[in-house]
Structure 1
Amino acid sequence: MKDARLRIQSLIAAFILLALTALSAKAQETGAEFLSDLHDFRVNNYLALDAFYNFSATGDTETLNRIVVGINNSNDAMNSVVASTSGVLSEQQVEELNQAFDQFKNLMRGNINEVRDRGYPDLRLMADLANQALNMNNLATELYSVAQEGSGIKADTRIESARSAAVVMAQMMARYAARTHSSVSQTFQGASSEVPLDEQAKTFDQLLSSLRAGSTNGELKAALDDVASKWQFIRGSYINYNENNVGFVIDRYSKGIIEGLTNAIDLLRASA
């Protein structure tokens, strides 16, 4: 009888341990998805901003659709952040970011209407949009760090380098578009407190070096080699801005780099 009781107690203890392990794994998985959503949110906002700077000069429907795609993707990521049950951020922190995003969307809408109604952008509204994008990204980056700590997930250096590189590239691309495509590029060059393009380019150099430092083969090596090749092609344009550079080539290669980094992140996460 005593042996039977001991066996039952052992089975119960084992079941509880398995349940706790499963809950911990589920929490880590949820936390990982939360971080992924926050990352997607940051990148897509700058893709939308880049598209707007192009739209401010052309006013064409195709470019407007790119703005809509960027905002919609950010919206999807934000909705996932709000709906998350990971608990890695407080409701107040999530709501603060959500409100910042609402302000960004309102400013984007106002700027689009200005271009459609008048045929050219309003410099003050455009500056407000750029500054809001920067402030929102800074908040999202701060919350990303908080969420990473709260998730209990050990940070993967290469994944974090790839994500940071993608955000920096998206910021640089939008900044370059502000200088190249805007009809007011001589007086408007992005947010008032943004890091200069050449400094961001050097930061990207460091992040890419960190990303390529580990062992790579197969698809991951191909993805990173492609990113490095594209970066070498446009790096000089970011280091030494020249208004004679072909803006759409810089834009296309920058987007290709972001896509390559996104692919690398997926491959690294799959092998983690």
Structure 2
Amino acid sequence: MTSQMLAISLRTLFVSALLLVSTLTQAATAPADSLLTLHQMRLDSQKSLSSFYMYNNMEGDQRYAQMINESLSNASQALATLQDLSGDSSKALSGQLVGLWNDYQNNLKNLVGTLKTQGYTDLQPVADLAEQNQKIMALSEELYNKIQQETGYSVPPLIQQSRKQSLLMQAIAVDYSSRSASVGATFMGGGDSRSMEELVNEFATTLKALSQAPENTAQTTKTLNNVGTKWHYIEKSLKNYNENSVPFLVSKYSDSIIDELEQLSSQYAAAST
């Protein structure tokens, strides 16, 4: 074989290797991207309900109307990108999720319209909305697990833990804001059936575990410290929610904590590549 032919053969082999690596990389990142999109959709679903309660609490404050619209738009866009899943079961679950989401979205918009026009809503439609949101969260979690099962891809533990912490913080915000937005002195219910004490204790325990993870870098430690500072600022209010309700404060800080936790997930993802 001449040196020129050898060079061509080596070049061909090199290009083939690059194509193989690219294909394998795409196969690995595709489910990761879908799972991240689904996670963000779940956060937006919870956020839309929390913002609706705050819209009620703050007597039609348009900031919360805008937050509702943004959450609905973001979640709808996320669902639209999840229609090309590879697994048959994942596709079926995704289709069911779209149907549930469309019903929930329409009902939420109708309730916002009712609040705008008459200044109050009846209890039952709001209770139904909260129940729909719970079904969306349950089905989306099933889809999240099914994507991993069908693709063979597993979300790295620290990333998964930080995502669960984001969802937990949003569930706490939903629960807290719903207590302040009671209709006829009746608790409307949030996105999690557990007590506030259980939710708060779980968040504190998981935050401590994340902070003690040996894989933490200077960057992730700084982010976790930021989360801890903000969490400690509202933790007492959350534990004593029946004594002095501060929904605006909890809503504001929970949004900031979730932003920090999503940043933490990204930092863990960058460190694992």
What's the TM-score once normalised by structure 2's chain length? 0.87
Q: 3-state DSSP class of the match of 2:82?
A: helix
Question: How far, CA to CA, are the matches of 1:269 and 1:88 in structure 2?
Answer: 28
Question: In structure 2, how many angstroms separate the alpha carbons of the residues matched to 1:104 and 1:97?
Answer: 10
Q: Which stretch shifts more, 14-23 or 182-191?
A: 14-23
- TM-align CA RMSD: 2.7
Consecutive unaligned residues of structure 1, counting only runs of 5 or more, are: 2-6
Query: What secondary structure is seen at the aligned counterpart in 1 of 2:263?
Result: helix
CA distance in 1, matches of 2:216, 2:200: 23
Given residue 232 of structure 2, which amino acid in structure 1 is its aligned partner? Answer: Q
* Conserved? CA contact 2:41–2:74, under 8 Å: yes
Indicate conservation of the 8 Å contact 1:88/1:151, yes or no.
Answer: no
1:184 Cα deviation from its structure 2 partner: 1.7
Confirm or deny that 1:128 pairs with 2:128.
yes
Could you list the structure 1 runs, at least 4 aligned residues long, displaced by more than 3 angstroms after superposition.
Answer: 7-21, 84-90
Matched residue type, 1:45: S
Which residue identity does 1:202 align to in structure 2? N
SS of 1:92's equivalent in the other structure is helix
Q: Contact 1:175/1:189 (CA < 8 Å) preserved in 2?
A: no
Q: How does 1:1-272 map to 2 (within 5 A)?
A: 19-57=19-57, 58-82=59-83, 84=84, 87=87, 90-180=90-180, 182-184=181-183, 186-191=185-190, 194-214=193-213, 215-272=215-272
- Structure 1 window deviating more from structure 2 (140-149 vs 186-195): it is 186-195
SS at 1:216's partner residue?
coil
Contact 1:201–1:239, Cα closer than 8 Å, also in 2: yes
Give structure 2 stretches of 5+ with no counterpart: 2-6
User: 1:194 aligns to what SS in structure 2?
Assistant: coil
SS in 2 for 1:137: helix
1:23 CA drift (Å): 1.8
Please give the alpha-carbon distance, in whole angstroms, between the structure 2 residues aligned to 1:31 and 1:266: 16
The CA deviation at 1:60 is 2.6
Aligned residues with identical type, % of pairs: 27
My pick for the range that moved more, 154-163 or 38-47, is 154-163
CA distance in 1, matches of 2:130, 2:39: 19
Contact residue 198 and residue 240 of structure 1 kept, 8 A: no
Deviation at 1:91, TM superposition (A): 2.2
Task: Check the 8 A contact 2:47/2:68 in 1, yes or no.
Answer: yes
Alpha-carbon deviation of 1:254?
A: 1.0
Q: Distance in 2 between matches of 1:28 and 1:251?
A: 36
Q: What are the Cα deviations for residues 112-138 of structure 1, in whole angstroms up to 9, with x where unaligned?
A: 122122211221110011011111001
- C-alpha separation between the residues in 2 aligned to 1:20 and 1:90? 26
Q: CA deviation at 1:237?
A: 2.5
Determine the C-alpha separation between the residues in 2 that align with 1:260 and 1:66: 18
- Aligned partner letter, 2:238: Y
- C-alpha change, 1:223 and 1:192, in structure 2 (3 Å) is closer
| Structure 2: distance between partners of 1:109 and 1:66 | 12
Structure-2 separation of matches of 1:164 and 1:192: 14
1:158-207 CA distance string (max 9 Å, x none): 11010001011111101110112x15273023149722111111221232
